[in-house]
Structure 1
Amino acid sequence: MTDKNIQIAHSYFQAVQNGDMATLGELLADDIVWHQPGANQFSGDRKGRDAVFAMLGGMMQVSQGSFAIDTVHTLMGNGDLVTATIHFSGRRDDAAMSMDGVDLLRITDGKIVEMWLFSAEPATEDAFWGR
């Protein structure tokens, strides 16, 4: 189970990095719960694939299309949980962010059903996204 879930997580990150929304949509459960960290306009819980896509679209709009997961360092699994150490960045006008993070995915029956994100510099991320 763990190896299969790590492969699903790998496919998820590839889809995100390539902007492959069709594959991303196939990997996210219809009723996914997404926990976005911080105290900014995108923080909080999103319930459902459509709500997650709306949030990601907003992030792309605010970042002028630059928000990206630059590097996936390590994927580690334990049963239905997979964690990834990543680096992400974005820029807009005269603002920029670039930092490490950890994403924790819960995978059930081949779908990502819950996602928790952690940022190395929450204040920097909050300032970038704004309220």
Structure 2
Amino acid sequence: MSEHPDAALIRRAYEAFGKGDMETMGTLMTADVIHHVPGSNPLSGHHKGREAVLDLYRRFGSETKGTLRVELHAVLVDGRGHAMSFHTARADRGDRGIEIQEGLFFTIVGGKVSDIDECTQDIDEEDRFWS
């Protein structure tokens, strides 16, 4: 059974993110992509535009001194331009550590990610970690 192109796109994005390959990440997103981060912490909010989203990802790395690791568990697609991914995120930041389940809901337009809605197992824990 072959993988749906939308699922393959999301897997490529996870692979690039894991390598810190922002150049490849940029090619997988539309210019006007938006990443919505839940919660009430310095990284929360709506990051609009390719450079703003890539800056968010760079900040994930700098804030955790490169310790952020994401283990992808599943990618689901609807065949109409939407995909969902489920992963475990692990990172250290100062004297804090986190291991948390997260999910991303993607909108895909023209073979590129145009919108990312992030969901988390525990918003309060994420806020404590990133604050």
Q: Report the TM-score range of the alignment, normalised by the length of the smaller protein.
A: over 0.9
Gaps of 5+ in 1: none
Q: Structure 2 counterpart of 1:100, which letter?
A: Q
The aligned counterpart of 1:76 is: 76
Distance 2:55 2:76 in 1: 28
Would you identify which runs of 4 or more consecutive aligned residues in structure 1 move more than 3 Å? none
Question: What RMSD over aligned residues (CA atoms) do the two structures have, in Å?
Answer: 1.2
Q: Structure 2 counterpart of 1:88, which letter?
A: A
TM-score by length of 2: 0.92
The one-character-per-residue Cα deviations of 1:69-90 (angstroms, maximum 9, x if unpaired) are: 1x11111001200001110011
Q: How many residues align?
A: 128
**Identity in percent:** 23
Distance 1:21 1:57 in 2: 8
TM-score by length of 1: 0.92
The aligned counterpart of 1:113 is: 114
Gaps of 5+ in 2: none
Distance 2:55 2:21 in 1: 15
Tell me whether 52-61 or 84-93 shows the greater mean CA deviation: 52-61
Equivalent residue runs for 1:1-131 within 5 Å: 3-69=4-70, 71-78=71-78, 79-130=80-131
Distance 2:18 2:61 in 1: 13
